[in-house]
Amino acid sequence: MKIDLISIFPEYFAPLKLSLIGKAEQDGLLSIQIHDLRDFTSDGHRTVDDTPYGGGAGMVMKAQPWGDATDPIIENNPQIIVIVPTPSGQVLTQEMAAELSKADHLLFLCGRYEGIDARVMTDLSTRVDLREISIGDYVLAGGEVAALVMIEAITRLIPGVLGNAASLIEESHSLIQDGQSLVEYPNFTKPPLWRGLPVPEVLTSGNHGEIAKWRAAQALARTHKIKQIKPMNGDQ
């Protein structure tokens, strides 16, 4: 997968060199390119923002630098998916991450201030698959951290990026009830007793059927607790 990122703070993406994503890039599974929006400005001050038409607080990112930065990237890649991280977008789900992990090429437009001139999105949406995506119901100062979150959620689902393929398969088994993802069951490792707290007996029983049943029940109970979704078939 190829990933392009455009931002006025390219240094924000230094963590992409670390851990699984950094390794995946070294292994040739990912190719990440970061672009400085200010390289596409046309004035000496490298201005990227201006006051909003209609008035109001804050500044809006000018259309021209975004247009000039995105044109060469999408030019020869009509199948590219362009993602605009924004608190007014559709909230990212595991299902969306799974779908996006199948893409060949993603481009993230990381805006700051009160957002990007809306004509940039209108113009892009005539030529490419454009998605405005939020990472949750709160407001960040810019799209960079949200893009990092999205990239981690998406790229760990690419075959070979996560070290342990078995853990992905296990995860997919515990997904989706009524279109909602199930959270994981609690995990334990040695020692069997820590600060007076024992490991649940079933996990040391060696009975794999009982272990699977216990884990499924725990995952369901935790999911109901945090998401307040209705239990199926009236069971608690």
* Nearest-angstrom CA–CA distance, 79 and 212: 41
Task: Name the residue nearer to ligand 6GU (CB basis): 3 or 182.
Answer: 3
Between residues 93 and 177, which has the closer beta carbon with respect to ligand 6GU?
A: 93
Confirm if 217 and 223 have CB atoms less than 8 A apart.
no
Window 128-157: residues binding ligand 6GU (CB under 6 A): 134-136, 138-140, 142-143, 146
Smallest gap, in angstroms, from Cβ of residue 57 to ligand 6GU? Answer: 15
Between 144 and 182, CB nearer to ligand 6GU: 144
Question: Pairing state of beta strands 81-91 and 49-50?
Answer: unpaired
Find the part of the chain contacting ligand 6GU (CB under 6 A) among 3-11, 21-29, 84-92, 155-163.
84-92
Q: Kindly state the smallest distance separating residue 100's Cβ from ligand 6GU, in Å.
A: 14
C-beta of 86 vs 215, nearer to ligand 6GU? 86
- Tell which one of 35, 85, 100, 128 touches ligand 6GU (CB under 6 A): 85
Q: Is 67 in the site for ligand 6GU (CB under 6 A)?
A: no
44's CB contacts (< 8 A; 6+ apart) are none
Q: Look up residue 111 and give its DSSP letter.
A: -
- How many residues bind ligand 6GU (CB under 6 A)? The answer is 12
Least distance from C-beta 99 to ligand 6GU, angstroms?
Answer: 17
Under the criterion CB under 6 A, does residue 7 sit at the interface with ligand 6GU? no
Q: Is 70 in the site for ligand 6GU (CB under 6 A)?
A: no
Give CA–CA dist 25/167, Å, rounded.
Answer: 21
- Of the chain, the end-to-end C-alpha distance in Å amounts to 42
Contact 143, 111 (CB under 8 A): yes
- Helix, strand, coil percentages, rounded to 5, for the chain: 40, 20, 40
- Residue 7 or residue 134: which is nearer to ligand 6GU going by CB? 134
Provide, rounded to whole angstroms, the least separation between the CB of residue 147 and ligand 6GU: 8
E strands within 95-212?
Answer: 105-109, 129-134, 193-194, 197-198
Pick 65 or 143: Cβ nearer ligand 6GU: 143
Contact 113, 60 (CB under 8 A): yes
Phi, psi for residue 125 in degrees, rounded to 5: -70, -15
The residues binding ligand 6GU (CB under 6 A) are 85-87, 134-136, 138-140, 142-143, 146
